[in-house]
Amino acid sequence: MSVAERYDIRVDKADVYFSFPYQVGVMFDESDDENQKRFVEITMVFHVLRGLKGMIERGESVPLNVGALPEFRDKISICNYRFIKEFTKGVDSDWTVNVVNHFRPSDYIEE
**With bands split at pLDDT 50, 70 and 90, how would you rate the model's confidence at 111?**
low
| Helix and strand counts by DSSP (H, E) for the chain | 3, 4
- The answer to whether the CB of 48 falls within 8 A of the CB of 77 is yes
pLDDT in tens, 48-68: 999 999 998 999 888 888 877
Say if residue 77's pLDDT is above 60. yes
How far apart CA 12 and CA 4 sit, in angstroms, is 16
Task: Output 33 or 73, whichever has higher pLDDT.
Answer: 73
pLDDT at 66: 82
End-to-end Cα separation, the chain, in angstroms: 29
Residue of 78, 8, 14 whose CA lies nearest to 51 = 14
User: How high is the mean pLDDT of the chain?
Assistant: 88
Q: Where are the domains of the chain?
A: 3-106
